Structure 1
């Protein structure tokens, strides 16, 4: 059995992977200089890919799957699989019977903390008040609507997508004595810290009750662009929206209109629209309407999972999936190739 790491794995990472696998398993990775440690080019990987049984990695070079005739298992060291869908990889895996796993949940703690940071920063007008202080200004009059902070205590938060991240957000929200409403595909599956669980058909009634809404669902054919005018009109104009999932869930024009007409109090996100050539025109890698520059928006750019412990957990969980496959065991985090997650 041959396992190919699709990134410039360190000696420690390779030793750890080899130690976990049965004796005799070949483990290889590209060597030499690199621009980004977590990706490698087709030319660097091709000599190993032609006879590899297993791929594990953070990035997938173009055309590499076409020559990987022996490939039987692919471990994607990310939580979401929508990027694999976009580049046609999931279709290839379905067509050739290749099993896939991800590391969903590995970054749940970090992303959930980012979501709560966003909720607090929006509520407390953190960036605005920091700027005012740096400028030496004093906000007056006290308790004016424009300057007064919002509260989390006693308010209602709606979590759209109650998986590993959403469940963790619910736990944190309870620490602020919030009422927690959840929306997910299987509403009958219990979730700790959620006061009331609802199905997708109840989304609009849930939105109307919330002071904070967090999107933490996967981007699939069913959910892409699902948040538009109707969803924003269902929300309270005093509500905040937070997206720590995927930018494709929200229609950008609808978001811009809601933020600039008073239909939405504020927005925070770690994910932003990427208009890629071949799927959109013109191309761009930030919102076309520059939503991220609006005064009632705060943002980071794919940084929620850039935190202590995350990389180590990513690799540990990815390694476990490879071990499961090589040893013929059930794969704990196997991806349903038809659902896309």
Structure 2
């Protein structure tokens, strides 16, 4: 069996794969200049693709599938699989595993940080201190919003959404969840609703967090109607994928004051504008990131202590299961996209 570790891995990371998978040929990209060591080009791995059985990585370069004739497994080092050609992979018989749940604690904590950053106006208050701007103690322009006894609506009550709900309860928030299968329960949320009731939840929520996977059905689903249904003066947070939200209606609602603020760790990707799996802060075409009621981070939710090590361990488990012809614990459904 031959496995391509599809990033510029350290010797320690490669050794971890070799120790866990004795007898397996572990190969890596040839050295080349890169912006992030998790980038990958076709040229750097082409020599390995002809007889590779599995690929572990963050990027699948254009043209790789045409060369990887023996490929049977991709261990995708993301939770979302929206950047993979899943229909083609299904046709080729290539299984896919992902990292669902592996990053959930880190991302849930990051979501709470964004909620608190917006509510407490941390960025503006920090900038006032840095610039030595005097702000009276009870100045209205720097007044915080409360989380205590406010309502949080979470759209997508999977592992990340449930993690956010659990943490929000520590602030005495009322938590309402929306999920595709409400029969699976509310978990730590106070109540759960189906997608057909999303507008009722939005209308009750002081804070709304998007934590749903991006699929054919959810790509761009959060538009003018959804934004308009949110309680006036509420905060919207996107911790999932930038392209869930339609850009122009969001910009207009923020400028008009219909939304008190927007926070995001994820931004929009534009067709033919950026490389595959481009994971860096991308400015909005409408300038959303420059609005005074917006705070953002650039895909940093999973950049936390121990997460990369856990992700590598997860991928090794998937490779072992594949090698031993065992059921793949984190196998995704090609049709559903998760």
Q: TM-score when scaled to structure 2?
A: 0.93
Q: How many Å separate the matches in 1 of 2:153 and 2:229?
A: 13
Report what 2:144 is aligned to: 149
Report what 2:56 is aligned to: 56
Report what 2:112 is aligned to: 116
Q: Which moved more, 1:197-206 or 1:229-238?
A: 229-238
Q: How many Å separate the matches in 2 of 1:6 and 1:288?
A: 31
Displacement of 1:315 in angstroms is 0.7
Q: How many Å separate the matches in 2 of 1:58 and 1:120?
A: 30
Displacement of 1:121 in angstroms is 0.9
Q: How many Å separate the matches in 2 of 1:14 and 1:193?
A: 39
Distance 1:117 1:285, change over 3 A: closer
The yes-or-no answer on 1:127 pairing with 2:126 is no
Q: How many Å separate the matches in 2 of 1:39 and 1:141?
A: 47
Residues 273-331 of structure 1: CA deviation (Å, up to 9, x unaligned): 1223289xxxx942111001001000111111112111111111111111111111111
Report what 1:19 is aligned to: 19
Q: How many Å separate the matches in 1 of 2:25 and 2:79?
A: 26
The yes-or-no answer on 1:323 pairing with 2:320 is yes
The yes-or-no answer on 1:310 pairing with 2:310 is no
The yes-or-no answer on 1:269 pairing with 2:264 is yes
Q: How many Å separate the matches in 1 of 2:228 and 2:61?
A: 41
Q: How many Å separate the matches in 2 of 1:285 and 1:38?
A: 17
Contact 1:161 1:215 in 2 (8 A): yes
Question: Aligned to 1:241, what secondary structure does the other structure show?
Answer: strand
Distance 1:273 1:7, change over 3 A: same
Question: Aligned to 2:45, what secondary structure does the other structure show?
Answer: helix
Contact 2:30 2:45 in 1 (8 A): no
Report what 1:66 is aligned to: 66
Q: How many Å separate the matches in 1 of 2:148 and 2:110?
A: 18
Q: How many Å separate the matches in 2 of 1:33 and 1:148?
A: 50
Q: How many Å separate the matches in 2 of 1:278 and 1:294?
A: 23
Residues 136-171 of structure 1: CA deviation (Å, up to 9, x unaligned): 333348263x33210001111011111111111011
The yes-or-no answer on 1:232 pairing with 2:223 is no
Displacement of 1:9 in angstroms is 2.4
Provide structure 1 residue ranges, at least 5 long, that are not aligned to the other structure: none
Report what 1:197 is aligned to: 192
Q: How many Å separate the matches in 2 of 1:123 and 1:43?
A: 47
Question: Aligned to 1:188, what secondary structure does the other structure show?
Answer: helix
Question: Aligned to 1:265, what secondary structure does the other structure show?
Answer: strand
Displacement of 1:91 in angstroms is 2.1
- Structure-to-structure mapping, 1:18-57, within 5 angstroms: 18-21=18-21, 23-35=22-34, 36-57=36-57
Question: Aligned to 1:56, what secondary structure does the other structure show?
Answer: strand
* Total equivalences in the alignment: 331
Q: TM-score when scaled to structure 1?
A: 0.92
Distance 1:113 1:278, change over 3 A: closer
The yes-or-no answer on 1:97 pairing with 2:60 is no
Displacement of 1:109 in angstroms is 1.3
Question: Aligned to 2:74, what secondary structure does the other structure show?
Answer: strand
Q: How many Å separate the matches in 1 of 2:137 and 2:317?
A: 58
Q: How many Å separate the matches in 1 of 2:331 and 2:321?
A: 10
Provide structure 2 residue ranges, at least 5 long, that are not aligned to the other structure: 275-280
Contact 2:98 2:332 in 1 (8 A): yes
